[in-house]
Structure 1
Amino acid sequence: MQINLKAHRVNRKQAAKIALLDAVVWLWLHQTNYDSLFTESFIDPAATLAIPGPIISIALVIGIGWARWDRIPKAVRIGVALTATLVTLGLVLEPLVAPSATLHAALTLLFVVICTFTALLRLETLAKCDDFSTLSVALSGSLLLFYLLDLGLLLVPRAVYDACIVGAPLVMLAGANNPAPRSTRLGPLPKKVRLSSPIVVPCLVGFATGLVVALGTVSMATSPSELFTHPAPLFLISQLLFLLLGVITAFGLDLRKATYFALINLCWGAGVTIGMIGREHFIPLPDPILVDLSSFVCLLTLVGFFAFSGIWVNTLGRTASMSRESAVEDVARKAGLTKRETEVASLLLEGRSLRIVQQELFISEGTARTHAKRIYAKLGIHSKQELIDYFKQNLPH
């Protein structure tokens, strides 16, 4: 239940795969959301419907929370990838085949919905990295590949550029059979944890990052000479740090990742929306101030992760663990288990063998086996799997 920042051997193969998938999806999101060759031709920036974004994000948070998803179902990932490609293709073909204001508005609204899901799936893809070192390498590689892919698109004929943008979302199919790890903690987070720094800070950072990105009028490079200024590297680094903070915190607290990622994605979208409204109705901020704001967001994210991770995550991880243990004790007491039988049941629920139970509780293996038999008899079950299922069904959700 804690973030481990110690050096591990980096899983280079996994880091390279995640970096490539993330870079392609990231490039697609930027090319289709900000001023680029694609948006200049096929999407009116004024009609990208910024307001429905947070509304869709709120619906997504509620939907995932109601469904109690711990990770996004395979069918959703496949559906999002295919729909994103079809919508992008529709935006390309609509003005050429059947120009229609109604059709364009419908495609644009569907595009906003799909972008919200895609941003969520991007976070879940990063969550497949099995340790901090691999995730850091993957994110660094993603930034490098983002620029290389962007440069490649600027050097190819326009028809190839359009084809790459249309087909980019299909890379999400590559990870459909490899879901992010499940959370092992049972039951809801206690209120103390829900309102704690590790959950609140990433949400605030996401809001601030989205706000600065929107105020900075991010655009994509339209020539190789603009590559490192559109968008500015500082904006991209802010986003990467925000993703790093969110993914690692989710692992550190063993949160239900789909719900948590939907929440921080909502905060990002809210920041973007307010930034766009401010940019539209108020005096634009000078570039030097925007640079200072971006620097502050980067610094805030770094401080939020490195300075607090060892304090907040360890402490709140223990709080969440204690909440689970208390719930297990309540179920055991109602089932008539003794204190010792409850201790044995708790260890069995963690996947420990009878030999480990014996060592943990300083009892003989025969005594451990006797306790297990009595537990099974009182609960009317016959195996460890049935024990796990019994507590899953009876613990509060």
Structure 2
Amino acid sequence: MAAPHDEAAAWAEEAARRVWAGAVPLQVHLHDADVTALPPPPPFLTLGPRIGYLPLLIPVIRAHFSNALPPGVDTVWFEYKGLPLKWYVPIGVLFDLLCADPERPWNLIVHFRGYPSEILSPCEGEDSVKWSYMNSLKEATFIITGNSKSVMNMSHADQVALWESVMKGNLDGYKNISTRLKLGPFEDDVLVRTASVERQRQQNSDEPESPGSSKPCRVPVRLYVRNVQEDLEYIEHAVPVSDWENVSYINRPFETRKAEGRSYITLEHALQTLLPEFFSSKPPGSADGSQHAGAMDAAADSSDATNSSSRSQEAEQALASPAEAGSAKRAKVKLVRVQGVELDMDIPFLWVADHLKNPEYYVHICVYVGTRKQ
């Protein structure tokens, strides 16, 4: 009979392999305006890695449509039901967020002209995606350890190897490099952290801390909050997202500290803490909102983690205005998805953080909330 530790390790390995093997079946259509040959080319069928990014599929898509494309070169972009897709959001997250009723295959339209620069930040293909990934990894490292030196000090060869493992879906190659960053695993038995004193002390420390130590640990989380009709009976009947104003993209680290003899934090508890806008009562163990504000400050204070981009500045939205706050009080959480799965709300949150995170160490959570029409 396998020891509990061995069994847990086996489950962890299986979860990681399933996440990395996850894919969304795509059926990509060339936009009518880009068709220069008759008959029009058939759509392109492929598997989009859940942890991957749409621009990385462009070489094979371009090759498929090459005989029908107009001359010249322009930035390629994708749309779904009229909505331009943000290239820096992982494919799996886009699918979970935009397809209330999972559509298989997922029908996308590819454009080789007319880049919507007023909606999407600039993208120069693989270089932009690599830059975005490495920047997110630095942000996550800072959130977890208090600084991002382990990423900043990586050799060029290791950075290249890490990125290539992500592009190719090579989990073993990824683990060979990423384990040197010492970013996990997280402790299973923790409480929401409310004090900010130790956070400040950790920020001033040059030594990375292990999430498994007795010190407070921080989980990098990206939340995608989609508004749907409040009276919606079946989630699959949700009105498609027509513009990104209907989605709030929120970076909100979750801070915890080890506490002996206390129960684990559930996914529900974590969401109550991360999204107090959508819960009428305070989360258990929270004397005030300081742990939430402190988490935001911890990420904001780093020059090397927040010196990111127009992409981050464009995307990170907090529900802060009086109108939004009023709307949030009337909102009800209808669906939560992580890696394509509607998880039991009683699942340990740190298990989710350890095993369902993306390669840049962020946990991406899609939340559907029902709101009243104004």
- What TM-score do you get using the length of structure 2 for normalisation? 0.25
- In the superposition, the TM-score normalised over structure 1's length comes to 0.24
Structure with greater contact order relative to length (CA < 8 Å, sep ≥ 6) = 1
More helix as a share of residues: 1
Which one has the largest radius of gyration?
A: 1
Structure whose residues are more often strand by fraction: 2
